[in-house]
Amino acid sequence: MPPLSAVQKAAVASFVSITGASDKTASRYLKNTGYKLNEAVDAFFQGNASASTTTNESRLTKLFDSLRNTEEDPKDALGADSSMAYLTSIGVDLEGASLFLAMELVQAPTIGEITRKGFINGWKANPAAEVKIEGQKQYFKRLADSLSRDRDLFRKVYRYAFVVGREGDQRALSLDNAILYWELLFKKPGVLWIGQTTGTDWLAEWIAFLRENWTRSVSRDMWNQTFEFALKSMADETLSFWSEDGAWPGVVDDFVAWYKRKSSEMDVDA
C-alpha cells in the first residue's frame, strides 16, 4: 500500500479527532469514501448507531460539569461567562452567525445561558455525539462551513435566533436587537443578503428603511417573513416576485414601495 499523502494524513487525523476511532478504522472509512471526510464520518456513525447512548450521556454530563464554574453557575446551567468561554473553546465567532448556530445546536434558552439538558440532548441528537472539546470543535467547524450553502440549516438557525434572542418573557424582538441579529446572521459564515446579479446590498437597504420608518418591535412572523423575502430578493433584484395582492406582511409592502421610490429618485437625479 502506498504511503498516505499529507492531505490524506490530515483527513485521518480529523476523523480520529471527531470520532475517537483508531487510525486503522479511520483509514478504512476514508478509503471507502475517496477520502471525503464528511461522508466518512457520517458513514462511521451510521454504522455504529448502536453505540451505548448511556455511555455517551454520562461522558457528556462529565464534560458539562467540567465547564461549570461551581462557585457562580447553577447546578444545571452554564452562566454567561462559562457559556462564552465554552463557545470560544469550540471555535464559535461570538460576533457572527456561528453564534446562533451554536445556540441552536445546544438548544440554549438565551444567548447568555446553556442548560445541562440542552447541552446533552443537543450533542446526542447529532451524529457525532461528541464528548471531547476538540472533537466538538471539529464538528462545529463542519457545520459552520456548510451554513452558507445549506439553506435548510440556515433557515433553522435563523428561526432559532428569534427564540434565543428574546429578552425575558417578551414575545417579540426590539428593533435594535433585531437589526443587530440580522447583521450577525447575514454575514459569513451565514448567507450574505446581497443580490446575485448586480450586488444590491439588501441588508443595508432593509435596515435603512426600518430606521427611517419602523418604530415597533419585530414579531415572529415579521422575522420569519424577512428571511423568505431575503432569499427571493437575492435571486431577483427587480423584486418581480412581489405584488400588492401577495401575502407579504405590510412592512415588506412598505419596504418595496420605499425602495422603488428611492430608486426612481436616484434615476432622475442621474
Average pLDDT, the chain: 89
Over residues 119-140, mean pLDDT: 83
- pLDDT of residue 78 exceeding 60, the answer is yes
- For residue 45, name the pLDDT band (cuts at 50, 70, 90): confident
- For residue 54, name the pLDDT band (cuts at 50, 70, 90): low
- pLDDT of residue 212 exceeding 90, the answer is yes
Grid cell 418573557 is found at 169
> Could you give the percent of the chain with pLDDT greater than 90?
66
What confidence tens digit (pLDDT) does each residue in 225-234 have? 999 999 999 9
- pLDDT of residue 14 exceeding 50, the answer is yes
Quick one: pLDDT at residue 267?
Answer: 56
Cα end-to-end span (Å), the chain: 68
Quick one: pLDDT at residue 1?
Answer: 53
Instruction: Give bridge partners of residue 4 from the DSSP assignment.
Output: none
Quick one: pLDDT at residue 265?
Answer: 78
Over residues 188-213, mean pLDDT: 96
**What is the secondary structure of 235-266 as a DSSP string?**
H-TT-TT--TTS---HHHHHHHHHHHHHHHHH
Cα–Cα distance between 139 and 20 in angstroms, integer? 12
Distances in whole angstroms, Cα of residue 199 to Cα of each of 10, 186, 252: 37, 14, 20
Least confident of 12-16, 73-77, 138-142, 200-204: 12-16
Cα–Cα distance between 137 and 17 in angstroms, integer? 9
pTM of this prediction? 0.79
Query: Between 54 and 10, where is the model more confident?
Result: 10
What confidence tens digit (pLDDT) does each residue in 17-31 have? 777 778 888 889 998
**What is the secondary structure of 123-154 as a DSSP string?**
HHTSTT---SHHHHHHHHHHHHHHTTT-HHHH
Instruction: Give bridge partners of residue 190 from the DSSP assignment.
Output: none
Q: Show me where the domains of the chain are located.
A: 6-47, 53-146, 172-269
- For residue 5, name the pLDDT band (cuts at 50, 70, 90): confident
Residues 6+ apart with CB under 8 A from 156: 104
- pLDDT of residue 270 exceeding 50, the answer is no
Quick one: pLDDT at residue 10?
Answer: 86
Quick one: pLDDT at residue 127?
Answer: 60
- pLDDT of residue 50 exceeding 60, the answer is no
Q: What is the CATH number of domain 172-269?
A: 1.10.238.200
The reply to whether domains 53-146 and 172-269 share a CATH topology is yes
Grid cell 405584488 is found at 243
Cα–Cα distance between 24 and 16 in angstroms, integer? 10
Cα–Cα distance between 198 and 251 in angstroms, integer? 24
* Range 53-146 has CATH code 3.40.50.880: no
| Helices assigned H by DSSP within the chain | 6-19, 23-32, 37-47, 53-67, 80-89, 98-105, 116-124, 133-146, 151-165, 175-185, 202-213, 220-235, 250-269
Quick one: pLDDT at residue 268?
Answer: 53
- pLDDT of residue 221 exceeding 70, the answer is yes
